[in-house]
Amino acid sequence: MGRLFGTDGVRGVANADLTAELALGLSVAAAHVLAEAGTFAGHRPTAVVGRDPRASGEFLEAAVVAGLASAGVDVLRVGVLPTPAVAYLTGVLGADLGVMLSASHNAMPDNGIKFFARGGHKLADELEDRIERVYEQHSTGEPWERPTGAGVGRVRSYEEGFDKYVAHLIGVLPNRLDGLKVVLDEAHGAAARVSPEAFTRAGAEIVTIGAEPDGLNINDGCGSTHLDLLKAAVVEHGADLGIAHDGDADRCLAVDAQGNEVDGDQILAVLALAMREAGTLRGETVVGTVMSNLGFKIAMEREGLQLVQTGVGDRYVLESMKEHGYALGGEQSGHVIILDHATTGDGTLTGLMLAARVAATGRTLADLAGVMERLPQVLVNVPDVDKSRVATSAELTSAVTEAERELGSTGRVLLRPSGTEPLVRVMVEAADIDQARSVAARLADVVKSALG
């Protein structure tokens, strides 16, 4: 698998890449590393462990729990809950560690392990690196120091976690959702119980789809990566809006009453204006990524707000938010972080906040999302090229400069070397889709000739 930890924990095909032995070993290593770092100093450590409904999550959860308890960590098993719920409970219960078993929007055969530090925050990179090194060191035969007798960890179910998390979601809503009809697509995933419960308690009339997880159907033709079912259901039921989550419910995309997609950029735009009105948008700033649609940036500038752009990935958005104290950030894919109420992207919270804005204003979602015009965005992948020369090729630099001159202020060009494959992604935005396609095709040809 190469380096175990990626940008969002450890992922792979369950029982092939991600085995019970690996899950157990990483959990023991995490306990030892955190103990050495002083996280457990002076008290008996506790971990919160949750999972999404994937079939493989059952044996992987057992392995993680066994590993932690064998290392002297008490475990609270919260069962099937969204990733942001595990992060929230880790923080509110004062736990030393949180562990979520999920591969998010990936297909069912995959699974993953994500660790949270005390407070429900993502583990620092150096701790992940240390866990990996310690795991590898002991997987080659060096024995662990193991507690015995009363020193071993105790394991219990913490079923109160569901109600505690839902109560938190309802408690931070600025207003109720009475009078709204909402279709919820739960992706047969981790929010299948939480999200319908939260929207119902908040006063909405709900219709649910994709809310019958059987361990095998997660993300299968539904959820935030497959919006067609939701679009049809919203129109069929005459709903005010639709909300779609991914498998672990850290994402949210929406659909308006006419069945049109409302993406993460548009959701951020709506929430930014709502938060500014409420006085909670610190620094009059929203954090996005370099892939944020240019239409989003133009809309924010027109509204007198600043858009800070980071590298692609919600971890970079979160780092920028924490460093500068910003309150709102996210990605086009629907990862939206409302830092006053969550330590990670929270799809259920995002959906509730979006619906609350519709209810409070009496305006349609289409009207609210109309604050920004999504400019056509064309993405072309150019494979089998030397991606390391993107920044140094004079031919490529000249072609990009010419393209930017042609597009003017209503378009832009972005060349991104892939982080995992020998390819370069060419992204072009323009007011006109045909112009965007033409410029992207021309630049892709230059990438091939200059870097091939």
Beta bridge partners of 98: 48, 116
Of 393, 404, 410, nearest to 439 (Cα)?
A: 404
Task: Judge whether 104 counts as a catalytic residue.
Answer: yes
What does the longest C-alpha to C-alpha distance in the chain come to?
A: 73
Q: Is 250 annotated as belonging to a binding site?
A: yes
How distant, in Å, are the alpha carbons of 106, 272, 308, 370 from that of 354? 25, 11, 22, 14
Distance (Å, whole) CA 169 – CA 351: 11
How distant, in Å, are the alpha carbons of 27, 100, 122, 191 from that of 97? 10, 10, 10, 22
Plot region of 42 (φ>0 → left; ψ -120 to 50 → alpha; else → beta): left
Q: Is 8 annotated as belonging to a binding site?
A: no
How distant, in Å, are the alpha carbons of 118, 129, 309 from that of 46? 10, 22, 37
Place of tokens 């709900």: 206
Q: Is 246 annotated as belonging to a binding site?
A: yes
Given 102, 104, 224, 333, which residue is catalytic?
104
Q: Is 104 annotated as belonging to a binding site?
A: yes
Of 66, 23, 44, nearest to 155 (Cα)?
A: 66
Residues labelled as active-site residues? 104
Residues forming the annotated binding site?
Answer: 104, 246, 248, 250
Residues forming the annotated binding site for Mg(2+)?
Answer: 104, 246, 248, 250
